[in-house]
Amino acid sequence: MFKEVFADLHIHIGAGSKGDPVKITASRKLNFENILQESLYNKGLGIIGIIDCASPVVLADMDRLLEKGKMEELPAGGIAYGDLVIIPGVEVESREENGGQAHYLGYFPYMRNLREFSQVMAEYISNINLSSQSTGLTGKEIFQLVEAHGGIFVPAHVFTPHKSFYGRCFETYRDLFSPEEWARIPAIELGLSSDTYMADCIPELADKTFISNSDAHSLEKIAREYNLLRVKELNFKELELALWRKEGRKVLKNFGLDPALGKYHRSYCENCNKRFPLEYPVLKCPVCGREDIVVGVKDRIMEISPGKESSSPAHRGPYIHQIPLRDIPGIGEKTFRRLLDSFGTEMDIIHQASEEELLEVLNYKLVERIIKARTGDLEIEDGGGGHYGKVMA
Ligand SMILES: [Zn+2]
Ligand SMILES: [Zn+2]
């Protein structure tokens, strides 16, 4: 029997349970056990990928939870915490031969693999306790290491302008991988500023499964993007089958931010403090002429696939745009908590609660905004240059 389950496969760790920093820019409350509780009870997720697990600070927290019997390793890989399954992973930064930097995700089945991978990484990273540190390795070398340790390799947020495969480093996979290596990579991560329809302008991605994840740096942001998977059980092996679309397992749908809300959607000039939502790719500032602008994800996709229309392969499921409740003007922390108390999880409210049910808790204006968020009818100011897009009131 197949089941459908929500998965967010890119969640950071801010700190260890004793407060030691892991990801400096992330919230200190974002520790291993808090993530488990938030994911299971508030967000309604079934599978999560925590991608700072090579840090010895995190490994120690995981060992403690395993020893106490609060979670347990599964025979088919992954770790069960009640009804939630954790896929332990890493996010590793490359230094490519052309000088560009990219982020890559690796997911591992067992603690043993993770521990070994962590020991190898410690040789390349100056402070292994910290998240996403530069390794000086190329993406190809990182791929080979992840593979050698039994992991799944997925290029992260592939179009973002600062640290990513297409956004920063390459125009085509052939710039880095051989066709044989490329064929051993099941999926790419879309990133917050893009969606399926944008990525399907690039023909060489047709065979790849697309995943959409939160890249959460705080508890609230968990599941701002996620995937609906069809699997038989919740474990590493089943996730691997889903990413390869084998034996009926697959990613059925992606749920994610309207890409216009992403902070790198369109090109941005720091000098002019302006974003440029134009019909063509903006690669230098149309106002002051500077070339050192932050190129938007949409601009970069238009640049590397000139004239290509979006065309999705038959296996590709739909990408459902969603707007996190707290991004809707008028929904503050208090209203958000009241909604959770009434409906359970944020996903229930975003996707399921009926207009009548919502009206019992909220005024008409806010209910109308939630309904419009479902149908893509809210007006959005494009994000760019590190500034998130905004829902207009
Ligand atoms: Zn990253
Ligand atoms: Zn990340």
pTM of the entire structure? 0.94
Which candidate, 308, 68, 73, 118, places its Cα nearest to that of 206?
Answer: 308
Which candidate, 265, 272, 303, places its Cα nearest to that of 287?
Answer: 272
Which candidate, 97, 99, 9, places its Cα nearest to that of 52?
Answer: 9
* Whether CATH 3.50.50.60 fits 3-261: no
CA of 296 to the centre of ligand 2 (A): 18
Pairing of strands 226-231, 250-257: antiparallel
Q: What is the SS3 string spanning 262-307?
A: CCCCECEECCCCEECCCCCCCCCCCCCCCCCCECCHHHHHHHHCCC
135 exposed, middle or buried (CB, 10 Å; 0-12, 13-18, 19+)?
buried
Tokens of 82: 């009640």
CA of 91 to the centre of ligand 1 (A): 7
Residue 314: its H or E element: none
* Low pLDDT (below 50) residues in the chain: none
* pLDDT tens-digit series, residues 100-141: 999 999 999 999 999 999 999 999 998 889 988 889 999 999
Fold of 324-377: DNA polymerase; domain 1 (1.10.150)
CA of 91 to the centre of ligand 2 (A): 6
CA of 360 to the centre of ligand 1 (A): 40
Residue ranges per structural domain of the chain:
3-261, 324-377
Distance CA 366, CA 343 (A): 16
CA of 12 to the centre of ligand 2 (A): 6
CA of 110 to the centre of ligand 1 (A): 23
CA of 247 to the centre of ligand 1 (A): 31
Confidence (pLDDT) at 42? 84
**Residue pointed to by tokens 């994911």:** 39
Confidence (pLDDT) at 347? 81
CA of 90 to the centre of ligand 2 (A): 9
The torsion angle over the Cα atoms of residues 231, 236, 239 and 240, rounded to 10 degrees, is -130
* pLDDT tens-digit series, residues 191-215: 999 999 999 999 999 999 999 999 9
Confidence (pLDDT) at 283? 94
Same fold, 3-261 and 324-377: no
